[in-house]
Structure 1
Amino acid sequence: MVLGSILNPINSSMLAVALIPIGAAFGAPPSETAWLVTALYLATAVGQPVIGRFVDAYGPRPLYLAGTALVGVAGLMAVFAPGLGLLIVSRVLLGIGTSAAYPASMYLLRSEAERTGLRNPGGVLAVLSISNQVIAVIGPSLGGLLIALGGWHLIFTVNVPLSLACLVLGALRLPRRPEPRMEQERRADLPGMVLFAGMLTSFMLFLMEPDLRHVYLVAVAAVAGAGFAWWELRREEPFVDLRVLRGNAPLLATYGRQVLAFTTSYAFLYGFTQWLEDSRSLSPSQAGLVLLPLSATAIAATALTSRYAEVRGKLLVGSVVQIGGCAALLSLHPASPVWAPAAVGGVVGVSQGLIGLANQNALYAQADPARMGSSAGLLRTFMYLGALLASAANAAFYRDGATTDGLHHLSRLLLVCSVALLLLTVADRSLRRVGAR
């Protein structure tokens, strides 16, 4: 479960230090290499709930094995890609492949909890959260090391041994048959999936290039969204049960916090790293070293608070710390001493460690057990929606390169997101009951 669930964060975080070298190799500016980020998260945002629904119906084993095999194929394709276009295609396949492991893991946790009678396997949830946090935050440092050793191709090559390890462990350990399901649950809601994908894809394509010439994409997203809601509300077994979501305000609030938190997290990860390399003139390996305090504080915050099931305090402290980290970005400039960006990273790492674990625990308490796979997939969808918004923001503010002015404009946007996250947490009274003794 751990090995499969880290495939996405390791591929997203290592890329942060590789965007500048890849752009130099293919002669592409940051606004074009941003599609490497967008392609992964767009595919994952659509794929997570789709594959999560299949996990609910068919069990975790077939989806996990097929998804992790696709990760290895995508890694090989990226290694031999002759241009940016095929590299983007490989990221789409990678996003689809990495969409299986997390819903499969949450499904297995819920089924094991029902078998043993344990309400909340907090230790296992903490291990999953910590492993994802660790990989996400050490990814830039690891990516910088790999690039220094053999160039940017190495960050894609690592997918091959990881994929093989997942296939071996999955074949040996995952249950061979799912629990018995009603036949109507096995029927996939293909029209709902298509409408959902069309809505999300057209909206994100517009955000990547917001222009009056592309306003038709907003209309397409609105029509697809209306059609999606109409269709899902009339199906007995919908792809996304909007009736359940409509009556589950706490779960909707958790999804909202996930978008806001990860818009800030990913905008910082990619935007800040590109600024370090482009404006601060650091190499990928040096930029990775500067981000080590981010790794250390995120891991420490997650590890120290993982044994406590209460989530509201983590979200409040994490939101306030995130506001401070985003405000500190406004003080950075190319002549800042190297300890200054390292210190900012350390502050932001604390908020990432607290918020990521809190939202995952909140989902486990709020979601319908029968739809744990698809609910967990949707949590990841909203996380990657935040990543897509972050990618769009980076592309908009870095059109002329990763300049200091662009970083400061990005910082102001992240401050707005962080304040909104704090207000949403304060307003959500249901959080008092999650994890309370």
Structure 2
Amino acid sequence: MTPLVASAVLNPINSTLIAVALVPIGQAFGAGPGRTAWLISSLYLATAIGQPVVGLLVDRYGARRVLLGGASVVMVAGVAGMIPISVEWLTGVRAVLGIGTCAGFPAAMAVLRRRADEIGEGVPARVLSVLAMSSQTVMVIGPTLGGVLIALFGWPAIFAVNLPLAGISLVLTLLWVPKDTPAEKPAERIDVAGIALFSAALLVLLCYLMEPGIGDLWLLAAAIVLGGLFARVELRARKPFIDLRMLAANGPVLRTYSRQALSFLAIYTIMFGYVQWLEEARGFAESAAGLLLLPMSGIAVGAAALSGRPTGVRLRLLLVGAALLAGSVALLFVNDGTALIWLLVLAALFGLAQGLTSVANQTTLYRETPAETMGTASGLFRTAQYLGAIVAATVIAQCYGGHADSGGLHRLAVVLIVTSGLLLIVTAADRALVRAERRERDRREAV
């Protein structure tokens, strides 16, 4: 588990370290929230496109090769990030980090599935809980760690920290991840056309989502055309990059992707938008703003730790929606004079949702996905998560405009109320969750 955890946490820690660095980086280069929002979205854009591609490489070439390649890319990007050329340069570096950190999650899920099948185990709920809890831990301590690093060494430290982290991941992978067997080498040609069309369609769509407007509707039209071409190629391919027929027939997996996207749209909106409001509207320093998210960190880690059971998934998912809705409504009443204790309580509410959602959705994905496509399916799972993150960056930029004030925070709250309500509806209407609970109870009783 150690090398798998070390690799899987590279992406969430890079996704959250940047939260408290947006303001100082913007000040260093004279850039407002509209430009610095790309520092968030570039990593998520690269990750959203790269995750299913890397997942396919895991399925074809094996987890060890992919993990070693990913760690090497992260180390190169860590060095490049310490060079303060421009916001655009750092945006490119963040995109490279997104590609390099893609490897951890699909590789870990594929290794766990293979191991569980070898020993005849069902859903390895405790192991999934450890994996999710590790990612949750570094994700929620990211803003706090980022604040400390910036206070001590300046904002380039959030890039430099990748050198030791990726180095440890690389060494542990060499030591403890089993060598890939010859059977894992690809027997058939990879669907390059499908990968290219998928990447192009997603890239154009996300570029539109970053700055939606009437004048950019051609981007949306282009994304639709590219998506249609992708579907046509995949439906005709003998070994498609993404098996659309199988995916369309697997409603539980599609709904799992939807829940993950909606949940993290809300979570990332708070993680980045709330921190910006604390720094700009309330005047907290980067380190103090990171510390104010500690309740979110503690509750999220504790909730993830208590989620290591294969049963009760539906109840936990309903609780995620309820916690997000309650926190979003409370956000409407936050202003420049709100007492510190209520700001901490608000962060804790969103932490509860964050801690529960990943383990519950990962468990559902594990149950409903064939073993031979676990890498690709896990990559698409993370793509759904980062689609939510990219939309969150767009929402923040549109609601705040040039300054993160309380009015913008209230506009964020309205968007989150709609998102949380939709999440509750999707979860409550999913009868497959009930059937999966029954199957798991029957299996455990039989054992």
| Shorter-chain TM-score range | over 0.9
1:72 equivalent to 2:69? Answer: no
Give the Å deviation of 1:60: 0.6
Give the structure 1 partner of residue 248 of structure 2: 246
Residues 394, 405 of structure 1: alpha-carbon distance in 2 compared, 3 angstrom cutoff: same
Give the Å deviation of 1:433: 2.8
Give the structure 2 partner of residue 63 of structure 1: 66
User: Which one is further off, 302-311 or 419-428?
Assistant: 302-311
Give the structure 1 partner of residue 405 of structure 2: 403
1:115 equivalent to 2:86? Answer: no
SS at match of 2:127: helix
Q: 1:84 aligns with which of 84, 87, 105?
A: 87
SS at match of 1:81: coil
Paired letter, 1:329: L
Q: 2:235 aligns with which of 233, 254, 262?
A: 233
In 2, Cα distance between equivalents of 1:157 and 1:13: 15
In 2, Cα distance between equivalents of 1:148 and 1:183: 48
Give the Å deviation of 1:178: 3.1
Give the Å deviation of 1:267: 0.7
Q: 2:42 aligns with which of 39, 47, 57?
A: 39
User: Which one is further off, 167-176 or 252-261?
Assistant: 167-176
C-alpha distance after superposition, 1:132-177 (max 9, x if no partner)? 1111111111111111111111111110001111111111112222
Give the structure 2 partner of residue 29 of structure 1: 32
1:51 equivalent to 2:57? Answer: no
Cα RMSD, aligned residues only: 1.2
Q: 1:145 aligns with which of 141, 148, 151?
A: 148
Paired letter, 1:137: V
Could you tell me whether the CA contact under 8 Å between 1:31 and 1:399 is conserved in 2? yes
Q: 2:132 aligns with which of 129, 141, 147?
A: 129
Paired letter, 1:232: E
Could you tell me whether the CA contact under 8 Å between 1:274 and 1:402 is conserved in 2? yes
1:164 equivalent to 2:167? Answer: yes
In 2, Cα distance between equivalents of 1:81 and 1:151: 11
In 2, Cα distance between equivalents of 1:177 and 1:382: 28
Give the Å deviation of 1:236: 1.4
User: Which one is further off, 311-320 or 209-218?
Assistant: 209-218
Paired letter, 1:259: A
Q: 1:295 aligns with which of 291, 294, 297?
A: 297
After TM superposition, which residue ranges in structure 1, 4 or more long, deviate above 2 angstroms? 181-185, 307-310, 433-436
Corresponding pairs, count: 436
C-alpha distance after superposition, 1:38-73 (max 9, x if no partner)? 100000000000010011001011111011110111
SS at match of 1:16: helix
In 2, Cα distance between equivalents of 1:258 and 1:308: 18
1:419 equivalent to 2:433? Answer: no
Give the structure 2 partner of residue 216 of structure 1: 218
Give the Å deviation of 1:434: 2.8
Paired letter, 1:234: R
1:314 equivalent to 2:316? Answer: yes
In 2, Cα distance between equivalents of 1:6 and 1:55: 17
Question: Pairwise mapping of residues 170-189 of structure 1 onto structure 2 (< 5 A)?
Answer: 170-178=173-181, 180-181=183-184, 184-185=187-188, 187-189=189-191
Paired letter, 2:210: M
Give the Å deviation of 1:182: 7.9
C-alpha distance after superposition, 1:284-304 (max 9, x if no partner)? 110011111001111111112
Give the structure 2 partner of residue 204 of structure 1: 206
C-alpha distance after superposition, 1:368-393 (max 9, x if no partner)? 11100000000000000000000111
In 2, Cα distance between equivalents of 1:305 and 1:219: 42
Could you tell me whether the CA contact under 8 Å between 1:199 and 1:222 is conserved in 2? yes
In 2, Cα distance between equivalents of 1:156 and 1:178: 34
Could you tell me whether the CA contact under 8 Å between 1:310 and 1:434 is conserved in 2? no
Give the structure 2 partner of residue 19 of structure 1: 22
C-alpha distance after superposition, 1:298-349 (max 9, x if no partner)? 1111112323533100001111111001111111111112222111000111
Give the structure 1 partner of residue 6 of structure 2: 3
SS at match of 2:102: coil
**Residue segments in structure 1 that go unaligned for 5+ positions in a row:** none
Give the Å deviation of 1:110: 0.9
Give the structure 1 partner of residue 109 of structure 2: 106
In 1, Cα distance between equivalents of 2:378 and 2:81: 28
**Residue segments in structure 2 that go unaligned for 5+ positions in a row:** 442-447
Could you tell me whether the CA contact under 8 Å between 1:184 and 1:237 is conserved in 2? no
Give the Å deviation of 1:81: 3.1
Give the structure 2 partner of residue 348 of structure 1: 350
SS at match of 2:238: coil
Give the structure 2 partner of residue 284 of structure 1: 286
Paired letter, 2:402: D
What TM-score results when the alignment is normalised by the length of structure 1?
0.98
Residues 63, 290 of structure 1: alpha-carbon distance in 2 compared, 3 angstrom cutoff: same
Give the structure 2 partner of residue 264 of structure 1: 266
In 2, Cα distance between equivalents of 1:148 and 1:32: 23
Give the Å deviation of 1:190: 0.9
Residues 220, 308 of structure 1: alpha-carbon distance in 2 compared, 3 angstrom cutoff: same
Could you tell me whether the CA contact under 8 Å between 2:123 and 2:310 is conserved in 1? no
Paired letter, 2:148: L
What TM-score results when the alignment is normalised by the length of structure 2?
0.96
Q: 2:361 aligns with which of 359, 364, 385?
A: 359
